[in-house]
């Protein structure tokens, strides 16, 4: 059985809490590491293992206050991998959290939805757009 993946937040990397039993994947904080490959590759590898026996519902919660362009590329790769879990018997929900006044983060969530060709729910203070 796949173990949970838990990574503590640092000044340059977000916290990660992936729980295979709950089908919950949470990334929270800031992602401004110079080596985003080193940070995100274990997350992508974890999803590759998780997709062998995924939950019926997988909920991905992206709660980033800021990320750099290098992180954006790896985050896209991660989310693309997660969307591949979606099929007739497995539902994937991506929640994109933002501060209510952060237009850039709202637009970035919409951009990811377009790039992924997959629904991304925008969430602000428990209100979905």
**Residue 84: both structure tokens together:** 């591949």
**Going by DSSP bridges, is the β-strand pair 57-67/24-31 parallel, antiparallel, or unpaired?**
parallel
| Tokens 């997709």 -> residue | 51
Residue 117's Cβ-side half-sphere holds a number of Cα atoms within 13 Å equal to: 1
Q: Measured between alpha carbons, how far is 114 from 128 in angstroms, rounded to an integer?
A: 18
- Domain positions in the chain: 5-128
**Residue 90: both structure tokens together:** 């497995």
**Per-residue pLDDT for 128 more than 90?**
no
Whole-number pLDDT of residue 125: 57
Whole-number pLDDT of residue 56: 95
The CATH fold assigned to 5-128 is Transcription Regulator spoIIAA (3.30.750)
38 CB neighbour count, 10 Å cutoff: 11
**Per-residue pLDDT for 26 more than 50?**
yes
E strand spans, the chain? 5-7, 15-19, 24-31, 57-67, 91-97, 120-124, 127-128
| Tokens 């939805």 -> residue | 113
Condensed to tens digits (0 to 9), the pLDDT of residues 45-91 reads 999 999 999 999 999 999 999 999 999 999 999 999 999 999 888 99
Whole-number pLDDT of residue 127: 52
User: Over pLDDT 90: what percentage of the chain?
Assistant: 88
Out of 14-18, 21-25, 122-126, which region has the weakest mean confidence (pLDDT)?
Answer: 122-126
Condensed to tens digits (0 to 9), the pLDDT of residues 7-21 reads 999 999 999 999 999
């Amino acid at each position: 059985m796949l173990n949970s993946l838990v990574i503590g937040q640092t000044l340059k990397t977000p916290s990660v809490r992936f729980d295979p039993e709950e089908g919950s994947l949470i990334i929270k904080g800031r992602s401004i590491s110079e080596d985003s490959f080193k940070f995100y590759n274990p997350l992508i590898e974890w999803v590759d293992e998780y997709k062998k026996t995924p939950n019926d519902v997988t909920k991905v919660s992206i709660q980033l206050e800021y990320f750099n362009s290098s992180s954006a590329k790896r985050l896209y790769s991660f989310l693309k991998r997660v969307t591949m879990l979606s099929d007739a018997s497995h539902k994937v929900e991506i929640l994109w959290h933002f501060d209510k006044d952060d237009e850039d983060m709202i637009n970035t969530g919409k951009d990811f939805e377009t790039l992924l060709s997959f629904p991304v729910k925008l969430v602000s203070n428990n209100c979905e757009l």
